[in-house]
């Protein structure tokens, strides 16, 4: 799946810029309450990358971090408050929000944490109740 393509991302004001290179390990939509609260949106379009595929290329000194739990290190721009990406060290992946890398060809494959949804999406993709079994979840799917 890997290739050398590089895609640019930025915060809301543009002071922080970053790139992602290659292809993510997974893409989909997360409906969990943490994603809703952090993103101020009903659903988070995620792309999960190897941590070394994500590089901050400008404005490093403006990158802030918030960790409500050790599972998630949420990076944001201290100038505009715009969100950048979230590191998940326990899973060994970094979630780059699809909306932050607009040129990347986002192709969602599944929905996770659909039991917490506030926005039903009838797109025919699998709806995981929580997380896939290989990520520590039940692996159970729900109707749309």
Q: Using CB under 5 A, which of 27, 30, 53, 54 touches Zn ion?
A: 30
Question: Does residue 45 touch Zn ion according to CB under 5 A?
Answer: no
**Residues 121-140 as x/- pattern, contact with Zn ion by CB under 5 A:** --------------------
Out of 39, 79, 115, 141, name the contact with Zn ion by CB under 5 A. Answer: 79
Is 96 near Zn ion (CB under 5 A)? no
Segment lying near Zn ion (by CB under 5 A), choices 25-33, 48-56, 91-99, 116-124: 25-33
Nearest CB to Zn ion, comparing residues 97 and 104:
97
CA–CA separation, 8 and 128 (whole Å): 30
Q: Which of 33, 30, 37, 5 is nearest to 101 (CA)?
A: 5
Give the N- to C-terminal CA distance of the chain in Å, as an integer: 29
**Does residue number 80 form part of the binding site for Zn ion (CB under 5 A)?**
yes
Q: How far is residue 4's CA from residue 134's CA, in Å, rounded to a whole number?
A: 27
- Report in angstroms how near the CB of residue 17 gets to Zn ion at its nearest: 10
β-partners of residue 29 are 45, 111
Q: With 0-12 CB in 10 A as exposed, 13-18 as middle and 19+ as buried, what is 15?
A: middle
82 binds Zn ion, rule: CB under 5 A: yes
CB of 141 closer than 8 Å to CB of 128: yes
**Residues near Zn ion (CB under 5 A):** 11, 13, 15, 30, 32, 35, 77, 79-80, 82
């Amino acid at each position: 799946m890997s290739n050398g393509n590089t895609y640019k991302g930025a915060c809301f004001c543009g002071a922080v810029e970053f790139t992602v290179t290659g292809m993510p390990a997974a893409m989909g939509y997360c409906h969990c309450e943490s994603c809703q609260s952090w993103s101020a949106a009903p659903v988070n379009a995620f792309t999960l990358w190897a941590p070394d595929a994500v590089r901050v290329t400008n404005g490093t000194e403006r990158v802030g971090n918030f960790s409500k739990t050790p599972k998630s290190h949420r990076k944001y721009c201290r100038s505009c408050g715009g969100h950048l990406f979230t590191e998940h060290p326990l899973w060994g992946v970094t979630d780059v929000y699809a909306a932050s890398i607009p040129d990347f060809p986002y192709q969602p494959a599944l929905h996770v944490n659909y039991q917490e949804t506030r926005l039903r999406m009838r797109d025919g993709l699998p709806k995981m109740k929580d997380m896939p079994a290989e990520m520590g979840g039940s692996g159970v799917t729900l109707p749309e």
